Amino acid sequence: MDKNDTQLIVDFLNDEANSFDFIVFRYTKSIYNFVFRMVGNKNDAEDITQDVFVKIWKNIKKFDQEKNFKTWVFAIARNTTIDWLRNRKNVTFSSLDTDQEMFEETISDILPLPDEIFSRKELVHELEIVLDKISIESKTIVFLHLKEDMTFEEIAEIVKKPMNTIKSQYRRTLHQIRGLLRI
């Protein structure tokens, strides 16, 4: 199906059977990856992702179709994740050791050499330590820009801050990561 988000929303609002399924299919992987990077746990990320889609389903009638749907979806995902983190007593931002297989699936190199594999595992461990030192908001901005290819304007709309603030925070975060990784 090649319908855009607006067409799918209209179809859903007109009680067309599978239109919401297409929305879920289109955004599940991105939302799950986003949430997983924030909470660092596969089961929690699955639960939060499901909550996100329930909230989308319940509130889609309120969506302003003049706005960007992807931005709206990620704003719901961000807010749901932050609410979950606030309600959780022991906050863990990353657990790549327990979900190593999933992380390695995102690495795009085919048949790496053994020394490359060892080097990557060291980098993953070092990156995990560094990401634990960065705020959830900074991780959100970097992830949405680098992984989801969102513009700073879209991210600003999601986190409800001025675009120049987002740009500055992005640059500071990258500088902080480089410093912590000693790159």
The string of pLDDT tens digits covering residues 130-173 is: 777 888 888 888 888 888 888 999 999 999 999 999 999 999 98
- 148 with 30: CB under 8 angstroms? yes
Side chain identity, residue 164: N
Place 9 in a pLDDT band, splitting at 50, 70 and 90.
Answer: confident
Average pLDDT, the chain: 80
Place 176 in a pLDDT band, splitting at 50, 70 and 90.
Answer: confident
Q: Which two tokens stand for residue 107?
A: 């690495």
Q: Which two tokens stand for residue 57?
A: 């389903």
Residue from 14, 16, 13, 140 nearest 69 by CA:
13
- CA–CA dist 41, 45 (Å, integer): 6
The mean per-residue pLDDT over the stretch 107-133 comes to: 63
Weakest-pLDDT range from 89-98, 107-116, 127-136, 142-151: 89-98
pLDDT of residue 105: 54
Place 75 in a pLDDT band, splitting at 50, 70 and 90.
Answer: very high
Enumerate helices (H) and strands (E) in the chain, giving the number of each.
9, 0
Residue from 24, 145, 33, 140 nearest 78 by CA:
140
The top-level CATH class assigned to 1-92 is mainly alpha
Q: What are all long-range contacts of 163-169, with beta carbons under 8 Å and residues at least 24 apart?
A: 166/141, 169/137, 169/138, 169/141
- 37 with 93: CB under 8 angstroms? no
pLDDT of residue 95: 46
pLDDT of residue 163: 92
Residue 51, pLDDT above cutoff 90: yes
